[in-house]
Amino acid sequence: MKVTRVRPFCFADDAGRKYFIVKVETDAGIHGLGEVGIPNWGGPVAQALEQLAELVTGRDPFATEALWQEMFRAGFFPADKVYSCAISAIDIALWDIKGKATGLPVYKLLGGPVRERVVCYPHVGGTNTEELLRSCQAHMDAGWQFVRWHLPGEPILEPREAVPACVDQIAAIREAAPDVGICLDVHTRLDSAHTMDLCRRLEPFNLFFIEDPLRSENPGSYRSLARHVHVPIAAGEQWSSKWGFREVIEEELIQYARIDLCIVGGLTEALKVTHWCEAHYIDIVPHNPLGPVSAAAGVALCMASTNVGVQEMPRAPGSYATDLFPQQIDWADGYARCSDVPGLGVELNEALAEERRVPLNSWVPRVHRRDGAFSNW
């Protein structure tokens, strides 16, 4: 069996959510699906996919490690984040092909089930604390055991205002739901001083973790947090290979690794980061703000790994975009599970995806300080 074609699909669902799916085809009539981790960078990622297709076309899709190494290093200069997104999508699709060709779900190819299902957290929100409380309660009533929202402050983020506002929100949620797991996403928007202030104020509320409080360019900046705060820290969604995680794993600067399988280099690279984390007793919390393919890959990894905290799942699988993805993984009572369908267990309605194509390039919302300075997203 040989790879014959790499096809990108960039489209949106009825709610306007954008997806960048990659289909890898073979001469055996078996195909696999992958997903791009930064769909807003669709233009450059599409160019990277076109070039990488030259490497994988005509090759054995079972040779995932060899193909990963060539895609990452064959240009002499190691792959950057754009190319890592493209590599991730192709690599995940190759694992999907391997599962379909062998008649096995991907999680069994990764080592088999360590657990029967994977606990997940949803995205909740509201424009004020009352709305946030209602959103949390609605999700808990639906079976979710965790809630997650982000630091308040859009489109104006002033840390001295956002930090106390966030503390008030968490105090209200903790009072209303003493046992729920609380995950706070800071979206890399604070500097060290404001992060320390936030973490110290939140220590009494028993958070599950605070996610990405600092920008990702300098992983060593987490050393100061490790020395001065006592709240579990999760980080890593922006790192595009195992090397981005090196310092924080080896020096044990974080408690949870936020691996994004659609950015880090796919399942092949995510497995390596996961096993590296295991040696340091760091649990993984796969980053998954995307669609059904990303969700299936993350849950497959979690089902086959021992060191798992929780899986990000913005919306329950099967509750959205079912016209575009008529087959998705299973979800019930706050847990996701990959079925025993061969491969990832996700299928794409290609004809509808073609009809709903959207421009490759787009932008995320931009946040500013009151003085007009640009803040991080």
Asked if 65 and 92 count as a contact pair (C-beta separation under 8 A), the reply is: no
Asked if 248 and 221 count as a contact pair (C-beta separation under 8 A), the reply is: no
Amino acid at 343: G
Q: Are strands 335-337 and 118-121 parallel, antiparallel or unpaired?
A: antiparallel
Q: Give the residue from 137, 97, 155, 159 showing the smallest Cα distance to 346.
A: 97
Q: Which two tokens stand for residue 361?
A: 């390039």
Q: Are strands 3-12 and 233-235 parallel, antiparallel or unpaired?
A: unpaired
Q: Give the residue from 8, 33, 26, 7 showing the smallest Cα distance to 297.
A: 33
For residue 311, give the 3-state DSSP assignment. strand
Q: Are strands 118-121 and 146-150 parallel, antiparallel or unpaired?
A: unpaired
Q: Which two tokens stand for residue 170?
A: 């968490």
Dist. CA 87–CA 245, nearest whole Å: 18
Q: Token pair 């991080």 is at which residue?
A: 376
Dist. CA 147–CA 88, nearest whole Å: 28
DSSP string, 112-141: --SSS-EEEE-B---SSHHHHHHHHHHHHH
Asked if 329 and 296 count as a contact pair (C-beta separation under 8 A), the reply is: yes
Dist. CA 373–CA 367, nearest whole Å: 9
The residues assigned a catalytic role are: 187, 287
Kind and range of the H or E run holding 5? strand 3-12
